[in-house]
Amino acid sequence: MSLDDCRILDLPKISDSRGNLTFIESVRHIPFDIKRVYYLYDVPGGSERGAHAHKNLHQFIVSMSGSFDVVLDDGNRQQRYHLNRSYQGLYVCPMMWRYLDNFSSGAVCMVLASEYYDENDYHRGYDEFIADVKRA
């Protein structure tokens, strides 16, 4: 798994005079089955979230409102993505160190995840993450 496996995906967008509608279907629009949804909101300006990696989890991150940045690091390269559109999201494959910052006021970050919450799936320390990348 590398940064090349992660990308911004466009979602369907149905627009008419009443507003926009976007939908996400498991496997059809994102490359995994959705088992869990969580969201970050009321994030104080200047806060940073994340700063961990997941061993097996696939995730899809959408800005439902406002904007924020996601920085991905595969152990060799880093890339910063700015998310500010509800009809796009960032697919994050397993074994990506990530952190989120630059939250605008009112930002809502929705994350779709391929597994239930499992603390054992986390690398909470960067050094431990790098050691696992090197083992692979």
Annotated active-site positions, please? 52
| CA–CA–CA angle 85, 66, 93 (5° rounding) | 55
**Least separation, in Å, of the C-beta of 6 and ligand TYD?**
17
Cα-based distances in Å from 115 to 32, 35, 37, 57 = 10, 5, 10, 6
Binding interface with ligand TYD (CB under 6 A): 36, 38, 49-50, 52, 117
The continuous run of DSSP H or E covering 49 comes out as strand 49-54
* C-alpha closest to that of 114 among 43, 48, 61, 42: 61
Q: Which is nearer to ligand TYD, 19 or 45 (CB)?
A: 45
* C-alpha closest to that of 123 among 22, 39, 54: 54
**Least separation, in Å, of the C-beta of 20 and ligand TYD?**
27
Q: Which is nearer to ligand TYD, 9 or 51 (CB)?
A: 51
**Least separation, in Å, of the C-beta of 14 and ligand TYD?**
29
Q: What gap in Å lies between CA 61 and CA 91, rounded to an integer?
A: 7
Chain residue whose CB lies nearest ligand TYD: 49
**Least separation, in Å, of the C-beta of 61 and ligand TYD?**
11
Q: Which is nearer to ligand TYD, 23 or 38 (CB)?
A: 38
Number of other residues whose CB lies within 10 A of the CB of residue 118: 12
